[in-house]
Amino acid sequence: MSLKIYSCSHKELSLEQIDQMISYYKLNQARSNYHLSATHDPLYLASKPDYLLASQGTKLAAHLIYKQSVDLHFEVWQVMVHPDYWGKGLGDLLLQYFHSHILPIGQRASLEVSQENLAARNLYLRNHWHIARRRKNYYADGSDAYILELYKDLESTLEP
């Protein structure tokens, strides 16, 4: 599988890329046992996030949406993989690219994940995110959210 991973701003997204994200967002939502909140909708662009995209030719295979806040803290809003590419390691690749190329040394990133979403939790924990805290009854169904964090220091940038 020949994939291209690249970053772009909200201004650089094409309509075709947005359409593809919406399409597999809906596919993922239909196939998931958990509810995706409105803030996870790829059209939630009011805050002008940035994107990591993984594509195979013209087909968008996966994306990661993130935003850098004024205090240089990074928030990862969404990691989503098209169902055709599930189980191929694209989530890992996007998180590793984010860590290696986006997150500066000395900075931290955070994200939230439903306690019910075991696959996503395992993905993040496997990629060195740690559970920082829990938000009780965070989702409309009463389930909790975990807040995960990743800190990039000089040691974490070195290859084993």
Length of the chain: 160
Strands of 100-153 (E only): list them: 108-114, 130-135, 145-151
Task: Write down the H helix ranges in the chain.
Answer: 15-31, 90-97, 118-126
CB 98 within 8 A of CB 109: yes
Report pTM: 0.82
Question: Residue 109: how many CB atoms within 10 A of its CB?
Answer: 21
Query: How does pLDDT run along the chain (160 residues), one tens digit per residue?
Result: 688 888 888 788 777 887 777 777 777 666 655 445 544 455 555 568 899 999 988 888 999 999 998 777 999 998 989 888 989 999 999 999 999 999 998 899 999 999 999 999 999 999 999 999 999 999 888 999 999 999 998 776 655 4
Going by C-alpha positions, the residue among 100, 80, 89 that lies closest to residue 29 is 80
Give the right CATH number for 4-157 from 3.40.30.10, 3.40.50.300, 3.40.630.30, 3.30.590.20.
3.40.630.30
Give me Rg for the CA atoms of the chain.
15
